[in-house]
Structure 1
Amino acid sequence: MTRIRTLVFPSGTEVALEIARALEHSVHVELYGASSRDDHGVLSFPRYASVPSITDTAFDERFAELLADWRIELIFATHDSVHEYLASRVDAWGVRLVNGDPEAARVARCKSATYALFKGMPWIPRCYADINEILLWPVVVKPSRGQGGQAVRIASNPTALVAALESVPEPVICEYLPGEELTVDCFTTYDGCLLYVGARTRERVVGGVAMRSRLLVSDPCIDGIAAIINRRLNMRGPWFFQVKRDERGSWKLLEISCRLATGSAVQRAAGVNLPLLAIQDHLQRNLRVLLEPRMCLLERRLENSVVLDYDFSTCYIDLDDTLVCGGLANPQAMRFVYRLLQLRKKLVLLTRHAGDVMQTLAAACIPVSLFKTIIHVHDGELKSAHVCPPAIFVDNHFLERLDVSSKHGIPVFDVDAMDLLFR
């Protein structure tokens, strides 16, 4: 099967990490990542490259070389400014940008252009060109090319408005919307059909990212807004918009974006994998959505990943209270050992288990075939005597770790470290 060579850029954003999770197991995709700064992307994309910023004069030449070297067919842009920049250039490079119509990208990136295009629609907020037009305070001042609520100011009077206009780049003055805010994830097929509209809440927001989101039932007003946007702009693939209720409870548009939304994992959990739909749409396949509405709530959190600056061939791992806890397989440990096998490392079970090791493994549904060797030590023996570097050692007992570290100088880890390593 031919895989679509797909580049995610920049690859260290939360959007990029969601794309990686959504596509990493797909048989249709060969995934690549690139970034202009050193960040989490290098850990999430095995095929990774560093490129200049789009503001650097060397970017176009270096990026075009990278596309040619990797024979990239499809690009996901994960930042609005990057998306707008690439949209006007990818044709010359012989690749396709997901939802990359240049005019749609231009309008979506600029709130003033968005509001102008849809002027007259009841869901466009009141905008003010002059302070003398304002009859109702407070008002909101936001950058025309901003995102994630960055640099947004609320002005309660003319003095505050003047100060806000001086601090906000490319300011747009809008009516204040006090009500609930939603993100609406959408998908448009290659023939212009609006395949999916899924509204979700933003119940807890940190740094512009919805950390708690709930999938909502269809709303005719929101569906209508999506349909009009889809008719006016040449969309293809995943895109989203955000709305907020005004003082009367009516929905008003905040912004549109031509990229995948950061919180679109809500849709994936409910059976709608938007990045994978984009791959299938690239192949011009007829698409259907199989929604599971009972998967309705998503909680997000920060994750930690550690880079181990040590090359090793073998992992020695303990059994009791490490691989098996309370007679059951430790899920974190199982993820850890399977990841090591994926990295072509050897696993050695090194245990002083009091019972029958084979019976305990079988009872915990752990296959013996995971291990290159099983070493069963007895009282009076040191585990360190069976360790052969280069290796790492995982054991819940501090004195065992201390002995191995002292004898061999290799990395030793307690059980809790398995959540951090080799993600």
Structure 2
Amino acid sequence: MRTVMVTGVGAIMGYGLLKSLREADPSLRLVGTDIYDDAAGRAWCDVFEQAPLTAEKRYAQWLLEVIARHEVDLLIPGIEQDVHWLCDNRALLQGARCQVALNDPQLIDLSRDKWAMDQALLAMEEPCRIPSALSGDFHALKDALGLPFLLKPRKGYASKGLVWVHQEQDFAAHAGLLGEVLMAQPIIGSAAQEFTVAVFGDGQGATGPTITLRRSLASDGSTAKARVCSDASLDQVVARLCRAFKPVGPTNLQFRRADDGSWKLLEINPRISSTSSIRRAFGYNEAAMCLAFYLDHQTPPAAAVRTGLAVRYIEDLIVYDRDHF
């Protein structure tokens, strides 16, 4: 019996991973962790361990003890914060018995700072780069980027903290943060032209299995609705970026299509994303690919992807006759 540990199982990405793993191999022993003892993911794991925050000094020792106690074969981080901690502490985990589903360290580092990624794309003369700026007054940025333009956190995810600048007053309220915290970009296309592409990189520059979804976002930045789609011109951009960044394992690339039909990269998430459970429903199971790649040392085959529409909704998880799991 193989044991897989998933962190952050209270989040949609974490408990989605548990469901995908169970579908891929019902014999797996699933260990879930979360900082909250009432995390929803407890319903889909065999063992649950409440975790300290990664910022706490005791986290490293706690993690090693849990891995040893449950004889974990594969650790998959289920939230972005855990990806960053695990990447920063790769040396600590080299002595552990388990494999860790982590992407290329350089790609992870670039993904932490959108300006760093922008500069990497600029150095590559990559056409999918969105013009970006760290300085300038309102009038200079208006002339360069048009109105409205966007102020975007350099470090962040799920469209959190975005500021739409329609007029000088909008800019003035955030001008002091431009550079260190925020970067300025033009608004590309519309919300109806947003696409998310999953690849499973081999670390050598190949895309591996892929799936593309055209999506609309919920208020929290996650995918609310998605349609499976295919576009050869987008596939070419994705292949070019994979050759450049050489992702390892599950990787998510987000794009918008500009008014002129060109593709512009919003960000690269070097991890499984919260849309993973939707992808699984259409035949693209990233969790199963992780088992093949990290434990069986096999290159995942192309997925038999179905077409269709996905709509997310809220569902209740009920535990009767007690007030705890």
TM-score normalized with structure 1 length: 0.68
The residue matched to 2:209 in structure 1 has which SS? Answer: strand
- Name 2:267's counterpart in structure 1: 255
Task: Give me the whole-angstrom Cα distance separating, in 2, the residues matched to 1:112 and 1:170.
Answer: 10
1:214 aligns with: 227
Contact 2:17–2:78 under 8 Å retained in 1: no
Instruction: Measure, in 1, the Cα distance between the counterparts of 2:117 and 2:263.
Output: 16
Give the aligned partner of residue 113 of structure 1.
Answer: 116
Q: Distance in 2 between matches of 1:187 and 1:175?
A: 30
Post-superposition CA distance 1:85-124 (Å, at most 9, x none)? 1112144222432133322211122211111111121111
Q: Name the residue aligned to 1:154.
A: 164
Amino acid at match of 2:32: G
Indicate conservation of the 8 Å contact 1:214/1:266, yes or no.
no
CA distance in 2, matches of 1:87, 1:34: 18
Give 1:126 shift: 0.7
Structure 1: 5+ residue stretches without partners = 312-421
| Contact 2:194–2:215 (Cα < 8 Å) also in 1 | yes
Match of 2:131 among 116, 121, 126: 126
> What amino acid does structure 1 have at the position aligned with 2:186?
E
Q: Is the 8 A contact 2:18 2:41 kept in 1?
A: no
Equivalent residue runs for 1:60-209 within 5 Å: 60-93=60-93, 94=96, 95-119=98-122, 120-132=125-137, 133-134=140-141, 135=143, 136-166=146-176, 170-179=181-190, 180-189=193-202, 192-203=205-216, 205-209=218-222
Instruction: Output the CA distance in 2 between the equivalents of 1:92 and 1:253.
Output: 33
Aligned-residue offset at 1:304: 0.6
Pick aligned residue for 1:241 from 242, 253, 273? 253
Q: Is the 8 A contact 1:190 1:284 kept in 2?
A: no
CA deviation digits over 1:359-407, x for unaligned, max 9? xxxxxxxxxxxxxxxxxxxxxxxxxxxxxxxxxxxxxxxxxxxxxxxxx
What displacement does 1:23 show? 0.9
Per the alignment, residue 36 of structure 1 pairs with: 35
Q: Distance in 2 between matches of 1:83 and 1:142?
A: 22
Give the distance between the partners of 2:160 and 2:72, measured in 1 at CA: 33
Cα distance in 1 for partners of 2:225, 2:78 equals 21
Q: Tell me: higher relative CO, structure 1 or 2? Use CA pairs within 8 A at least 6 residues apart.
A: 2
Q: Counterparts of 1:298 and 1:65 in 2: how far apart (Å)?
A: 39
Question: Alignment partner of 1:248: what SS?
Answer: coil
CA separation of 1:222 and 1:99: change in aligned 2, threshold 3 A: farther
Question: Contact conserved, 1:141 with 1:165, CA < 8 A, in 2?
Answer: no
In the alignment, structure 2 segments of 5+ residues that lack a partner are: none
Conserved in 2, the CA contact under 8 Å of 1:109 and 1:257? no
Mark the CA change 1:142 to 1:190 in structure 2 (over 3 Å): closer, same or farther: closer
Contact 1:197/1:223 (<8 A) preserved: no
More displaced stretch, 36-45 vs 15-24: 36-45
Measured after TM superposition, the shift of residue 53 of structure 1 is 0.6
Write the letter of the residue equivalent to 2:118: Y
Structure of larger gyration radius? 1
Contact 2:33/2:51 (<8 A) preserved: yes
1:15 and 2:13 matched: yes
Q: Contact 1:99–1:235 (CA<8 Å) still a contact in 2? A: no
Secondary structure of 1:203 counterpart: strand
My pick for the range that moved more, 125-134 or 49-58, is 125-134
Q: Once superposed, what is the RMSD of the aligned Cα atoms?
A: 2.4
Quote the offset at 1:224 in angstroms: 2.3
Give the corresponding residue for 2:297.
Answer: 284
- AA matched with 2:11: T
The answer on whether the counterparts of 1:28 and 1:279 sit within 8 Å (CA) in structure 2 is no
SS at match of 1:195: coil
> Cα deviation per residue 1:213-270 (whole Å; 9 max; x = unaligned)?
10002x2332122223222324221110111123433221111101112122332222
Residue 375 of structure 1 is matched in structure 2 by none
Q: For residues 83 and 143 of structure 1, what CA distance do their matches in structure 2 show?
A: 19
- TM score, norm. by length of structure 2: 0.87
User: 2:283 corresponds to which residue?
Assistant: 271
Decide whether aligned partners of structure 1 residues 165 and 260 sit closer, same or farther in structure 2, where only a CA change above 3 A counts: farther
Aligned length, in residue pairs: 309
Aligned partner of 2:211: which letter?
G
Q: Is the 8 A contact 2:17 2:277 kept in 1?
A: no
Equivalent AA in structure 2 for residue 102 of structure 1: P
**C-alpha distance after superposition, 1:17-47 (max 9, x if no partner):** 2111111141563211111123212233231
Report the Cα distance in structure 2 between the residues aligned to 1:286 and 1:193, rounded to whole angstroms. 11
Kindly indicate whether the alpha-carbon contact (under 8 Å) linking 2:150 and 2:186 is maintained by their aligned counterparts in 1: yes
Output the CA distance in 1 between the equivalents of 2:166 and 2:101.
40
Is the 1:182–1:202 Cα contact (8 Å) retained in structure 2?
yes
Matched-pair contact (CA < 8 Å) for 2:14–2:79: no
Structure 1's 204 and 152: CA in aligned 2 closer, same or farther, altered over 3 A? closer
Aligned-residue offset at 1:192: 4.8
1:137 deviates by 2.2
Q: Which residue of 2 aligns with 1:361?
A: none
Report % sequence identity. 20
